[in-house]
Amino acid sequence: MDLKLFNTLSGSKEIFQPLVPGQVSIYTCGPTVYSDAHIGNLRSYVFPDVLKKTLRRLGYRVNHVINITDVGHLASDADEGEDKMERAARDKGATAWELAALYTERFKEDIRRLHVDPPDNMPKATDHIPEQIALIQTLEQKNFVYRTQDGIYFDTARLPDYGKLARLDTQGLREGSRVARGEKMNKTDFALWKFSPPGVRRQMEWDSPWGRGFPGWHIECSAMAMKYLGDLFDIHTGGKDHIPVHHTNEIAQSEAAVGHPFVRYWLHGEFLVVDSTRDGGERMGKSEGNFLRLQEVIDRGFDPLSYRYLVLNSHYRKFLHFSWDSLKAAETALMGLRRLVREVPWPGNNLNDPTNSAFRDELLADLCDDLNTPKALATLWTTLKNPLISPSEKGGVAALAEELLCLGLNDFSGLDQVQSVPVGVETLARKRLAAREDGNWGESDRLRDEIARLGYQVRDIKGGYELEKSKL
């Protein structure tokens, strides 16, 4: 079966062809570990996980790298502002090294709870300073770099196809940017190595042939990708904010250094957004003030896999609108699936039994169509609900779904304790929220009492409410 992937580079779905038969190399830009990841960040690790599991099912051996960015990611993509790690260290009263160690562990724990397979390698930028310096030296030998007062920069004007991934209007950018570019020769030029500010001793800094300082964020990914996957590899993934700057610059410096293409397929995930008064919602971001951690989802009583279900129920290239209601709906759906799976025999390791291959092929075909996870979930639902399909066939489809989507479909623990809130109670709680928003406190109290009579307690939380079954 062919696997089709949407390649940002060509702007179209392409049939995946590996560089080496039977093997696939994937690099995923990892977290900047100055704080916990938010659930939007985590979305960007779920789709490469489904990709990996689909590739394995198709018979490929997969080598996957997720890096850890623990230095050099500045507050602004334009190589300005403080290093996020150093700033967080100052704000939180810990060293940058301590923060990096803490949040790297927390990231590993978050992806584990989301059933994202650990990558084969998780290299840290700070462990690869010599590789980054060597790559900058190669660029220097090839005359792609120049020096300013604050660092060593890449001259993007020397690459005729600079900006091809994002289809940047480089000419327009250059002409319109004479004021904004400061000492840079072109606005799109970017730092490969930044000098420690004069008189300042950074927590993370290294000697280099150009002076004491630290690497730029983009060079980290090129150096680590090349070390673990080679200077041409199959697939690179990340969130779509990386297209115009980070990945554009990774391509520029890597291709300038090696003289040939760097990556065959570039895959980008769309944002998780939170519903807001703005059209289309607002991107969840560490600096946007709408940051939600996986731990908070768990603290509210949700199974983290309900969040995975919510993520898989949207295509990775579409916006995912997060709300507590949508998460609740995802949890209800996941519990419903597990109940259906409980009714059928789990096939153990006879997944390759040909008798039920047609239904399983359909599910795999959904994922081979640019990782159409919502379609795969729909196929699973219709299969499990179809009275004409035998229980053993259903079991085979469920087991394949579990292998590829990893939703804990055969985890029946706690299924019987879960009680969904009756629709009538939910409606009353919504009416009460509207009454509170209108300042109608009398009506709000009356509705709270009515909800209590139906056996539920309503609690106010920021922007909404929570319902809990009253304890006897």
**Residue 66, SS3 per DSSP:** strand
CB of 383 to ligand AMP, least distance (A): 30
Of positions 3, 9, 24, 40, contacts ligand AMP by CB under 6 A: 40
Q: Does 39 bind Zn ion (CB under 5 A)?
A: no
- β-partners of residue 238 are 268
Residues from 350 through 389 that contact ligand AMP (CB under 6 A): none
Report if residue 62 touches Zn ion, rule: CB under 5 A. Answer: no
- 86-94, 214-222, 284-292, 346-354 -> range binding Zn ion (CB under 5 A): 214-222
Tell me the Cα Rg of the chain. 25
Residue 44 contacts ligand AMP per CB under 6 A: yes
Closer residue to ligand AMP, CB minimum distance, 241 or 361: 241
How many whole angstroms separate alpha carbon 31 and alpha carbon 293? 14
Residues 6+ apart with CB under 8 A from 74: 80, 81, 82, 83, 84, 217
Q: Of 29-37, 126-134, 157-165, 449-457, which segment contacts Zn ion by CB under 5 A? A: 29-37
Of 85, 221, 226, 407, the one binding Zn ion (CB under 5 A) is 221
Nearer of residues 125 and 273 to Zn ion, judged by Cβ: 125
| Amino acid identity at 12 | S
- CA–CA distance, 375 with 312 (Å, rounded to integer): 9
Q: How far is the CB of 133 from Zn ion (least distance, A)?
A: 18
Residue 230 Ramachandran class (φ > 0 left, ψ -120 to 50 alpha, else beta): left
Count of residues in contact with ligand AMP, rule CB under 6 A: 18
Indicate whether 25 belongs to the interface with ligand AMP (CB under 6 A).
no
Nearer to ligand AMP, 44 or 249 (CB): 44
Q: Give the residue from 467, 374, 378 showing the smallest Cα distance to 423.
A: 467
- Selection from ligand AMP, Zn ion, none that 221 binds (CB < 5 to 8 A by kind) is Zn ion
- Nearest CA to 351 out of 385, 396, 386 is that of 396
Cα–Cα–Cα angle for 24, 29, 34, nearest 5°? Answer: 150
Is 31 an interacting residue with respect to ligand AMP (CB under 6 A)?
A: yes
Which residue, 136, 126, 165, is CA-closest to 249? 165
Residue choice 5, 26, 29, 46 for contact with Zn ion (CB under 5 A) = 29
Nearest to 264 by CA among 4, 16, 466, 11: 16
Q: Is the dihedral of CA 387, 389, 392, 397 positive or negative?
A: negative
* Residues whose CB falls within 8 Å of the CB of residue 328, separated by 6 or more in sequence, listed in order: none
Residues 208-247 that bind ligand AMP (CB under 6 A): 238-239, 241-242
- Contact segment (CB under 6 A) with ligand AMP among 12-20, 190-198, 266-274, 384-392 equals 266-274
Give contact residues for Zn ion (rule: CB under 5 A).
29, 221
Give contact residues for ligand AMP (rule: CB under 6 A).
29, 31-32, 40-41, 43-44, 69, 238-239, 241-242, 269, 271-272, 283-285
